């Protein structure tokens, strides 16, 4: 029965593994809820199967990976966004439960055949991901943002992460091809996408991946021996050269306007590389110079040394614009040249890292929960950049789960790497050793690139990483027997398994509820009535009360019904939803601004302005927020002036001017500076009309005229001219006032009425 459950689980997990890259790399949580629910059900079935038989202590050690989602559970106590913390918890439960099930299946198999299945599934995924991206470049398949500008992003919609994953597949394939007794079908399988992998990397124009890939590749070289190193170098050079040739053809033909640039060279190169790999394997399998040379002890260190020398020469050539550099397409030359500490992106990320460390000091032990950076960084940033991602996976772990989470994160993966290393060291069978070695450079690519980008935010990246770990670790842990024996027999094992199952079950149910809430919402293009919107949103909130957007949108529906029907019950319900939204994310400037808009819809402008002020305190460089606040204050001031409520009008106009002057003090110094990922700092043109109006209301005519003369927005320009007439009259500039009136009164029949209206708003 146990083997049947394992077989079903492996089939289901394999299908998910192959399919999920298509879901935009599982970057978005809405794509992940159902996947987590499916994996939770599979895990529960596996636990029941384990408990039903006589469970062995040996199945427990790999449950150590559940310490990582446990740290995300603890972070809920201090989460900046409850929804974001839950989403990260769901993700890590999915990753870890998948890994545990794959390892348990290996234990039940009692052979290495299942590892061959894992390897095949892994490679099939790499094949479709790489070929899909290349075919999408030619328009054979459609996928949103598969190409961004000239950069290939694949299904990840982000070039750097796409390149990282492609490199992991490439490195794994290169090492596997060094196996001595590889069946012909396996040779074809692992050789077929080599050119596609290389083209994917080059066409991503990912500087970080181009920098990290050689380091990860070198790790693979160091771990191999003798002839394995020689074949590894040959296959790498062959696939790399072919990929470069194809890439040059693509860029050259694209500049010439070809419909399918480089297509012929791609298919020809793919076939040639495949045939050459088969031929080379046939030659090297025989006794030859390479075989005898590879058997020499010094050869294992000689080849890496030679590679280091060649690598240094290559770097010097590129830095000096030498022969190799000149062969690169101009677009790639620019990207390669920019690999230095002075690039804008790296400087920008340095600012992000500094702010992230400051933010982490506020919650050093447990962190601020998943997605906390997106909520809190705007309050702590010292430069006006816009960056919702930290671009460092380890720093993201620190922020999300604190130092406790980061330490456990590193210890868990150190334990898994230790198990793989011990397996390589103790493995007597050369074929199995090579397959285990293949895991190392692929993992190195992922974990090293995680230092310089936000790859860890992609679910597919972690599925790939844990799949590699599942292939690499021994079925039964090594050198941990003394720790395992501390568990008191079958009863202790069942208790630990039951606790793990409850952990996964509870949050699997939550994840499925979140999925149902997503499904309850109308599609973007769907036209629905306000009553239908109310029903859908109420269901979504009941299923997922932690999603702040649901709360705000439902409050807006209640506010609209209050406006239409003037029933107090709708106002009360709207306020309850707004209060719930604030309780969920009290430091989210966007949420606070939306709450303010909600109170405006309920005619409670005083509360609205309070929330706008709090929002600006949490996001002081948000010019759009500053603009909207000033506009509301100026409009309200004019309305109260017409109602002859002079004190209120003066107070509101003064607030609008105060925010404008604060904007000048805070924002103006940054406008001329070159800041990476710089926020838009200029006010929209019609803002000058509203601030100019506030100045005119308070009798500060010169300031008002200066701003009103800048207005060219067609929606407000006539009103701006009417206000200028009023200001000129008050300043005694009768001729200027008359000139404007004369030029516009024939074009706009109501121009005189507008002038009269604006005369009535002057309160001081």
How many CA atoms lie within 13 Å of 283's alpha carbon, on the beta-carbon side? 11
In the beta sheet, which residues pair with residue 678? 385
Question: 479: pLDDT confidence band, cut at 50, 70 and 90?
Answer: low
Long-range CB contact pairs, 22-26, < 8 A, 24+: 22/155, 23/155, 24/155, 24/156, 24/157, 25/155, 25/156, 25/157, 25/158, 25/161, 25/162, 25/165, 25/458, 25/459, 25/460, 25/461, 26/458, 26/459, 26/460, 26/463
pLDDT above 80 (res 289): no
Characterize the bridge pairing of strands 151-152 and 147-148: antiparallel
Shared domain for 626 and 596, answered yes or no, is no
**Residue 248 and residue 136: Cα distance in Å, rounded?**
18
Residue 51 CA to chain centroid, in angstroms? Answer: 38
Structural domain ending residue among the three candidates 580, 612, 644: 612
Shared domain for 653 and 761, answered yes or no, is yes
Total domains in the fold of the chain: 2
Per the structure block, which two tokens stand in for 171?
């490195």
Shared domain for 628 and 600, answered yes or no, is no
Q: What pLDDT, on a 0 to 100 scale, did the predictor assign at position 166? A: 98
pLDDT above 60 (res 290): no
pLDDT above 60 (res 584): yes
Shared domain for 677 and 646, answered yes or no, is yes
Residue 197 counted as domain residue: no
Least confident window among 18-27, 60-69, 283-292:
283-292
Residue 763 counted as domain residue: yes
Find the domain containing 659 and state its range.
621-764
Residue 75 CA to chain centroid, in angstroms? Answer: 20
Shared domain for 667 and 561, answered yes or no, is no
CATH of the domain at 729: 1.25.40
Per the structure block, which two tokens stand in for 512?
């499925």
DSSP character for 80? Answer: S
Task: Give, to the nearest 10 degrees, the angle between helix 687-697 and helix 646-667.
Answer: 130
Task: Give, to the nearest 10 degrees, the angle between helix 263-284 and helix 184-191.
Answer: 140
11: which residues sit within 8 A by CB, 6+ positions away? none
Q: What pLDDT, on a 0 to 100 scale, did the predictor assign at position 342? A: 43
Least confident window among 94-108, 241-255, 478-492:
478-492
Residue 568 counted as domain residue: yes
pLDDT above 70 (res 397): yes
Shared domain for 607 and 643, answered yes or no, is no
pLDDT above 80 (res 506): yes
Residue 513 counted as domain residue: no
651: which residues sit within 8 A by CB, 6+ positions away? 637
Structural domain ending residue among the three candidates 583, 612, 641: 612
Shared domain for 726 and 699, answered yes or no, is yes
Of 163, 37, 171, the closest CA to residue 98 belongs to 37
User: What pLDDT digit, counting tens, does each position of 719-760 carry?
Assistant: 999 999 999 998 889 888 888 888 888 888 889 898 899 888
Shared domain for 591 and 629, answered yes or no, is no
Tell me if residue 135 falls in helix, strand or coil. Answer: helix
Residue 306 counted as domain residue: no
Q: Across the chain, what does the average pLDDT equal?
A: 89
Q: What pLDDT, on a 0 to 100 scale, did the predictor assign at position 341? A: 46
Residue 608 counted as domain residue: yes
Tell me the average pLDDT across 662-687.
91
Least confident window among 239-243, 255-259, 481-485, 557-561:
481-485
Residue 164 counted as domain residue: no
Tell me the average pLDDT across 267-277.
96
Tell me the average pLDDT across 77-87.
95
User: What pLDDT digit, counting tens, does each position of 609-632 carry?
Assistant: 999 999 999 999 999 999 999 999
Shared domain for 750 and 637, answered yes or no, is yes
Shared domain for 607 and 642, answered yes or no, is no
Question: 481: pLDDT confidence band, cut at 50, 70 and 90?
Answer: low
Q: Per this entry, what is the length of the chain?
A: 764
**Residue 316 and residue 102: Cα distance in Å, rounded?**
45
Structural domain ending residue among the three candidates 567, 585, 612: 612
Asked if residue 198 lies in contact with residue 170, where contact means CB atoms within 8 angstroms, the answer is yes
Shared domain for 569 and 640, answered yes or no, is no
Question: 335: pLDDT confidence band, cut at 50, 70 and 90?
Answer: low
Shared domain for 651 and 556, answered yes or no, is no
In the beta sheet, which residues pair with residue 147? 152
Tell me the average pLDDT across 356-360.
92
| DSSP secondary structure string for all residues of 263-309 | HHHHHHHHHHHHHHHHHHHHHHTS--HHHHHHTSTTHHHHHHHHHHH
DSSP character for 24? Answer: G
**Residue 25 and residue 457: Cα distance in Å, rounded?**
9
Residue 687 counted as domain residue: yes
Tell me the average pLDDT across 250-279.
92
In the beta sheet, which residues pair with residue 152? 147
Of 345, 457, 445, the closest CA to residue 396 belongs to 457
């Amino acid at each position: 029965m146990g083997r049947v459950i394992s077989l079903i689980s492996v089939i289901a997990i394999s299908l998910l593994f192959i399919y999920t890259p298509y879901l935009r790399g599982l970057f978005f949580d809405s794509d992940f809820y159902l996947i987590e629910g499916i994996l939770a059900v599979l895990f529960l079935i596996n636990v029941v199967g384990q408990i039903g038989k006589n469970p062995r202590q040996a199945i427990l050690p790999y449950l150590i990976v559940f310490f990582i989602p446990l740290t995300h559970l603890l972070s809920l106590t201090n989460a900046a966004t409850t929804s974001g913390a839950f989403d990260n918890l769901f993700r890590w439960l999915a990753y870890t439960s998948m890994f545990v099930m794959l390892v348990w299946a290996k234990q039940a198999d009692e052979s290495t055949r299942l590892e061959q299945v894992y390897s095949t599934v892994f490679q099939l995924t790499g094949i479709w991901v790489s070929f899909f991206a290349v075919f999408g470049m030619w328009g054979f398949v459609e996928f949103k943002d598969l190409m961004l500008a000239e950069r290939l992003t694949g299904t990840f919609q982000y070039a750097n992460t796409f390149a990282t994953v492609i490199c992991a597949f490439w490195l794994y394939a290169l090492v596997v091809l060094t196996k001595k007794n590889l069946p012909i079908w396996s040779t074809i399988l692992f050789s077929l996408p080599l050119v596609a992998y290389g083209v994917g990397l080059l066409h991503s124009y990912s500087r970080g991946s181009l920098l990290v890939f050689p380091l990860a590749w070198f790790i693979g070289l160091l771990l191999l021996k003798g002839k394995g190193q020689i074949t590894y170098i040959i296959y790498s050079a062959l696939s790399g050269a072919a990929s470069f040739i194809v890439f040059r053809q693509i860029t050259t033909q694209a500049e010439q306007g070809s419909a399918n640039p480089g297509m012929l060279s791609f298919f020809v190169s793919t076939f040639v590389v495949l045939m050459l790999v088969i031929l080379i394997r046939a030659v090297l399998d025989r006794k030859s110079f390479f075989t005898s040379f590879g058997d020499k002890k010094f050869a294992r260190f000689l080849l890496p040394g030679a590679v280091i020398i060649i690598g240094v020469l290559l770097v010097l050539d590129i830095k000096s614009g030498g022969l190799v550099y000149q062969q690169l397409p101009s677009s790639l030359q620019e990207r390669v040249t920019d690999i230095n500490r002075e690039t804008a992106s790296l400087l920008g990320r340095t600012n992000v890292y500094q702010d992230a460390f400051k933010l982490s000091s506020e919650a050093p032990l447990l962190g601020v929960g998943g997605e906390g950076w997106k909520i809190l960084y705007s309050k702590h940033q010292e430069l006006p950049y816009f960056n919702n991602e930290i671009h460092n996976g380890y720093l993201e772990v620190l922020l999300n789960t604190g130092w406790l989470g980061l330490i456990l994160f590193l210890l868990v993966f150190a334990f898994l790497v230790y198990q793989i290393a011990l397996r390589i060291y103790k493995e007597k069978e050369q074929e199995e050793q090579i397959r285990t070695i293949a895991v190392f450079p692929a993992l190195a690519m992922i974990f090293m690139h995680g230092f310089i980008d936000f790859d860890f935010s992609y679910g597919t990246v972690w599925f790939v990483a844990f799949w590699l770990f599942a292939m690499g670790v021994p079925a039964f842990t090594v050198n941990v027997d003394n720790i395992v024996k501390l568990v008191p027999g079958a009863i202790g094992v069942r208790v630990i398994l039951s606790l793990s199952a409850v952990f996964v079950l509870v949050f699997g149910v939550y994840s499925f509820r979140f999925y149902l809430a997503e499904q309850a919402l109308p599609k973007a293009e769907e036209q629905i009535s306000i009553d239908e919107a109310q029903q859908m949103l109420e269901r979504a909130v009941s299923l997922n009360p932690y999603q702040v957007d649901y709360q705000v949108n439902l409050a807006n529906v209640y506010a609209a019904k209050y406006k239409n029907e003037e029933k107090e019950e709708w106002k009360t319900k709207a306020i309850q939803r707004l209060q719930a939204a604030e309780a969920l994310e009290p430091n989210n400037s966007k949420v606070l601004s939306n709450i303010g808009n909600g109170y405006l819809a309920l005619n409670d402008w005083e509360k609205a302005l309070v929330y706008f002020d709090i929002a600006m305190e949490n996001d002081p460089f948000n010019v759009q927020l500053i603009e909207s606040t000033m506009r509301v204050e100026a409009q309200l001031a004019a309305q109260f002036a017409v109602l002859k409520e002079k004190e209120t009008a003066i107070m509101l106009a003064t607030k609008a001017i105060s925010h404008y002057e604060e904007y000048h003090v805070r924002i103006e110094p940054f406008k001329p500076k070159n800041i990476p990922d710089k926020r838009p700092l200029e006010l929209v043109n019609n803002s000058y009309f509203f601030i100019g109006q506030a100045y005119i209301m308070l009798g500060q005519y010169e300031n008002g005229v200066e701003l009103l003369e800048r207005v060219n927005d067609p929606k407000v320009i006539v009103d701006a001219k009417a206000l200028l007439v009023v200001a000129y009259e008050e300043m005694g500039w009768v001729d200027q006032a008359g000139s404007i009136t004369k030029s516009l009164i024939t074009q706009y029949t109501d121009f005189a009425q507008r002038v009269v209206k604006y005369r009535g708003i002057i309160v001081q």
